[in-house]
Amino acid sequence: MRKAFLITLFLSLSTLAIVSYFYVVARVYPHTYLGKINVSGLTKEQIIKRISSFYDEPVQIKIRNRMYTMNYKHIGVILDQATTVRMIFENNSKPFPENITSYFQSLFSQKMILPSLVFSQDFINFGETSRFNFTQKQDEVIVDNTNKTLLLKDNEDLYRIDLSHFQSILLFHFGDKKAVLEPQLVQVINTDKKDKIDAKNNKLIDVFSAPINIVIQDDGKLISTFISSNELKRIYDVSYVNGEVVYTPHEDLLTSLIDNKVDPMLNRDKKIDLKTLKTNVLSAFTSRVQGKQSGPLLASTVLSPLKEVEQTNTHGEIAGRYIEISISKQKMYLWDQGQMIKSYTVSTGLYYPTPAGHFNIINKAPEGYSDIFNVYMPWWMAFYYGWAGGQDAYFGIHELPYWYVGQEKKQRPREFLGSPHTGGCVSLDIGAAKEVYDFSFVGMDVVIFN
């Protein structure tokens, strides 16, 4: 009886051990996690069902303050189910007794397994092409009209997902239904915009870098002059409208510039068609903007018995050298030994009238200052002392005045030349005033006509 009992007990314990063994190796070992989900004690069938449901669950993605719902398959992430199951049951598949040893070890330690996810080319394309725009205001293109350049102020705030970081959090939070994933972002720099502005700046350099040459045919002789790069920059204003550069000429300034360049080069009995030459200059500049080549501009002189001599109020008879000013024409003429050697466009008094009459230069200075208008007046030549601005003051000839606002220097616009805009003085263009200053002397006659 005792022997039979022992045999029965042995068989029972053996059966229990065998059943327990197969039960243990058929289920996930204790303290096993798939990502952050505890999958301990599940069978292969349960694991397959569980990871399939995880894969089908939508994922909540937070991009800054915006929420997006995405599916793994829609963003190109593929679940390798077989490999994932094999990794979960890796210890179970070890030979006896290693699998039993691993089981007992799992009772005292945790094991985390990440799912086997395949990040396909579709996933890469998703990351490379998806853009998240947080732009608050449009880009700005600022025009520097002094240097004729465009400055891009890029206000675009554009990002894409950092794919490496996105992969890691997708793996780690696989199956975590409560998780809100916040992938890191990489700012997207739109080089196309900068390249476009750089291209337009290169074109601006080409447009303004070369002078426009003028050749005057006079009795078989060729007289050359040119409109310089800096003069072109003064003549044309640049603006940026709807993505294109717009060039706007100051035609009055161009007329004055051509007249001042060409007139001293001609005899008193000759003239050129100033209007046609100005039109040709504008056309040459337009051709340059369009990328076309243009050669020197040709102009021919013709006899002009009614040239400046007929239009001026004097004819060189006042003195050996003197200055004549016409308020109605806004012109100044320099006379030397009976010849009118140069003319200039000026600006005379608006706030207080420039006095008409016969005067003499009282004093000269490289720079004067007006207490009435708080401006500096380069190349000062005083010719009259009288009433202005509620007090006695000097009236003089000088360059366009300037002043300071803080540290910034401001100067009266050249566009004012050709019309009354001063407080009674006679203003000349930058450069022209120095020529008149060098021509004049204290005591020189100045005659001014209305």
- Same domain for 434 and 318? yes
- Same domain for 320 and 382? yes
**Residue 231 main-chain phi, psi, to 5 deg:** -70, -40
279 within some domain: yes
Chosen domain end from 285, 309, 333: 309
Neighbours of 308 (CB within 10 A): 16
Structure tokens at 107: 């009772």
Quick check: 141 and 117 in contact, CB under 8 A?
no
- Same domain for 341 and 445? yes
Angle in degrees, CA 106, 107, 108, rounded to 5: 90
Gap between the Cα atoms of 348 and 325, Å rounded: 9
53 within some domain: no
Instruction: Tell me which residue of 11, 14, 46, 9 sits closest to 27, measured CA to CA.
Output: 46
Gap between the Cα atoms of 25 and 35, Å rounded: 21
Angle in degrees, CA 308, 312, 314, rounded to 5: 125
Domain that holds residue 339: 313-449
- Same domain for 331 and 429? yes
Query: How many domains in the chain?
Result: 2
Q: What is the pLDDT of residue 367?
A: 92
- Same domain for 324 and 375? yes
Q: Please give the helix or strand (H or E) that residue 315 lies within, else none.
A: none
Instruction: Tell me which residue of 422, 370, 377, 381 sits closest to 399, measured CA to CA.
Output: 377
- Same domain for 331 and 302? no
Gap between the Cα atoms of 210 and 229, Å rounded: 6
Q: Which residues contact 98 (CB under 8 A, 6 or more apart)?
A: none
Gap between the Cα atoms of 296 and 291, Å rounded: 16
- Same domain for 322 and 381? yes
- Same domain for 289 and 227? yes
Which of helix, strand or coil describes residue 415?
helix
Q: What is the pLDDT of residue 333?
A: 94
239 within some domain: yes
Chosen domain end from 263, 279, 309: 309
Gap between the Cα atoms of 222 and 298, Å rounded: 10
pLDDT in 10s for each residue of the chain, 450 residues: 666 655 555 544 444 445 445 455 678 889 989 888 888 888 889 988 988 988 999 999 999 889 999 999 999 999 999 998 999 888 888 888 887 888 888 888 888 888 999 999 999 999 888 889 888 888 888 889 889 898 988 888 899 999 999 999 999 999 888 899 999 999 888 788 888 989 999 999 999 988 989 888 877 778 888 889 999 999 899 999 988 999 999 988 888 888 777 777 776 566 777 788 888 888 988 889 898 887 888 877 665 444 444 468 888 889 999 999 999 999 999 998 888 888 999 999 887 889 999 999 999 999 988 888 888 999 999 998 877 555 678 899 999 999 888 888 888 888 889 999 888 899 999 989 999 999 999 999 999 998
Q: What is the pLDDT of residue 273?
A: 78
Q: Please give the helix or strand (H or E) that residue 235 lies within, else none.
A: helix 229-235
CA 1 to chain centre: 104
* Residue 164 half-sphere exposure toward CB, CA atoms < 13 A: 1
Gap between the Cα atoms of 74 and 61, Å rounded: 14
Instruction: Tell me which residue of 373, 375, 370, 366 sits closest to 411, measured CA to CA.
Output: 375
Gap between the Cα atoms of 30 and 88, Å rounded: 11
Quick check: 188 and 159 in contact, CB under 8 A?
yes
- Same domain for 271 and 389? no
Instruction: Tell me which residue of 381, 386, 357 sits closest to 368, measured CA to CA.
Output: 381
Write the CATH number for 379: 2.40.440.10
Chosen domain end from 258, 279, 309: 309
- Same domain for 266 and 240? yes
Instruction: Tell me which residue of 105, 93, 100 sits closest to 18, measured CA to CA.
Output: 100
- Same domain for 332 and 441? yes
Instruction: Tell me which residue of 306, 437, 317 sits closest to 377, measured CA to CA.
Output: 437
